[in-house]
Amino acid sequence: MSTGRIVGSLIAGAVLAIGIWLLGVDAWFAAALGGLLAIVCVTWGVLTHTQTASAKWPARAMEPRPGARSDVSWLSWAFRQHKGQVREQGFSAVRSLAERRLARRGLDLFSPADRASIVALLGEDAYRTVVPAGGVMPSLRAIERCLDTLESLEGAGTP
């Protein structure tokens, strides 16, 4: 900020102080208001005329990492029941896990040719959980049982 702006701010404060003192305001109060106006003008000038980019906070994009605390809180929200059923986001997470685990064994969750093999591997209940009929979301209890089954696949000689 230039010296001229600072002098101008001080003159504006002095004019205000003298003006309201002439109107009958106490001298100390008039001086305080004049000083306040000068400070506000100088501060405004500094804030609006800053030419350096270093005055801005650097923007950092948060990138979620798998297994991070935000992942856990997101999943806990997604599994919260709505009318006795899990939410779509939680169901999608379980379904994508099932797809990955079955793909390791060469099975496609949505292939009619692989249905019998998947049912033999997971069981009918777990299969109906990840491929529900009629678009009805499964219950939290069914999701928990399905996750237990999918977890047991990891220990059962997954390639």
> pLDDT per residue over 71-116, tens digit each?
666 666 666 666 667 778 888 888 888 898 889 888 888 888 988 9
**CB neighbour list of residue 63: distance below 8 Å, 6 or more residues apart:** none
Residue 46 within any structural domain of the chain = yes
Segment 132-152 shows an average pLDDT of 83
**CB neighbour list of residue 143: distance below 8 Å, 6 or more residues apart:** 79, 86, 90, 91, 94, 129
Closest of 13, 41, 17 to residue 28, by C-alpha: 17
Residue 118 within any structural domain of the chain = yes
What is the domain count for the chain?
2
Do 42 and 86 belong to one domain? no
Residue 23 within any structural domain of the chain = yes
Residue 120 within any structural domain of the chain = yes
Do 91 and 140 belong to one domain? yes
Residue 63 within any structural domain of the chain = no
Q: Which H or E element spans position 88?
A: helix 88-103
Do 93 and 146 belong to one domain? yes
- DSSP 3-state assignment of 85? strand
Residue 57 within any structural domain of the chain = no
Per residue in 6-35, pLDDT (tens digit) is 888 889 999 999 999 999 999 999 999 999
Residue 71 within any structural domain of the chain = no
Residue 75 within any structural domain of the chain = no
Domain that holds residue 113: 81-156
| Beta pairing partners, 82 | 85
Give the distance, in angstroms, between the CA of residue 102 and the centroid of all CA atoms in the same chain: 31
- DSSP 3-state assignment of 82? strand
Helix axes 140-155, 115-122, angle to 10 degrees: 90
> Which residue's structure tokens are 């990492």?
65
Per residue in 44-59, pLDDT (tens digit) is 888 776 655 455 666 6
Do 85 and 152 belong to one domain? yes
Do 86 and 146 belong to one domain? yes
